[in-house]
């Protein structure tokens, strides 16, 4: 067969078949989990969160159960969201760490109101938090920074988070320069423009998926005297 015949054969061959994209309107799951009742709730939302977090992490096999969507708004009210990793929680709230030059940090400097969402799809649960953000102290930030792997410590220095860069190569070059300056085993100082935010909750909603989209939604609301009121929301 001549070379031209090969060319013609390729040109006239049928394109490979492609599977159609799934129709999102037809995608649905029935949630058959047990219900969520007021009588079974803890008195404090962070105690209840600790129960659910343990179930998600240990019993529910949820991938990265500490991953949460953080939504902020700037001074003009323009919103933005991103996924970050929660690194601590206690009765005071939820903590994550970031570059203070990032978009979310700038938003929180102008507008401290923030929303968190823990999307635990594998167990048909969500936790939705609204509250206010404050920076953690430098001692707390340094204590956490020391627990990070060496590469993550260097990464905190290398990344000017949310800023425009020319290429991936630029980022890699900066990282390698830092690695030469602070080799494995050498203490890396805490970046001055990097640290934590603690979100003090004002409301915490526990969402449990139920059959027929009749979900259970129980929300803790902070009272002026420091107590918490629980209210049930329609699904």
CA dist., res. 194 & res. 55, Å (int): 31
CA dist., res. 108 & res. 121, Å (int): 28
The catalytic position among 138, 146, 213, 229 is 213
Give CA–CA dist 158/168, Å, rounded: 12
Give the containing element (helix H, strand E) for 34: none
Pairing of strands 216-222, 228-233: antiparallel
180 alpha carbon, distance to own chain's centre: 31
219 in active site = no
The secondary element (H helix, E strand) that includes residue 124 is none
- 123 Cβ contact list (under 8 Å, min separation 6): 33, 55, 56, 60, 62
Kindly list the catalytic residues. Answer: 213
């Amino acid at each position: 067969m001549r070379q031209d015949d090969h060319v013609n054969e390729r040109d006239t061959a049928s394109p490979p078949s492609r599977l159609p994209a799934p129709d999102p309107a037809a995608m649905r799951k029935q949630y058959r989990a047990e219900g969520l009742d007021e009588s079974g709730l803890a008195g404090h939302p962070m105690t209840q969160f600790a129960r659910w977090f343990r179930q998600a992490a240990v019993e529910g096999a949820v991938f990265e159960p500490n991953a949460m969507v953080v939504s902020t708004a700037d001074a003009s009210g323009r919103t933005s969201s991103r996924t970050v990793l929660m690194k601590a929680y206690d009765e005071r709230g939820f903590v994550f760490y970031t570059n203070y030059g990032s978009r979310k940090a700038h938003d929180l400097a102008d507008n401290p109101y923030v929303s968190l969402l823990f999307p635990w799809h594998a167990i048909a649960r969500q936790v939705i938090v609204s509250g206010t953000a404050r920076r953690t102290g430098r001692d707390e930030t340094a204590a956490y920074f020391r627990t990070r792997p060496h590469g993550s410590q260097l990464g905190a220095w290398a990344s000017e988070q949310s800023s425009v860069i020319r290429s991936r190569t630029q980022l890699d070059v900066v990282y390698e320069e830092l690695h030469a300056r602070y080799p494995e085993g050498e203490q890396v100082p805490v970046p001055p423009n990097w640290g934590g935010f603690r979100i003090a909750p004002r409301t915490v909603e526990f969402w449990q998926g139920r059959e027929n989209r009749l979900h259970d939604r129980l929300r803790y609301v902070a009272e002026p005297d420091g107590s918490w009121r629980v209210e049930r929301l329609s699904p």
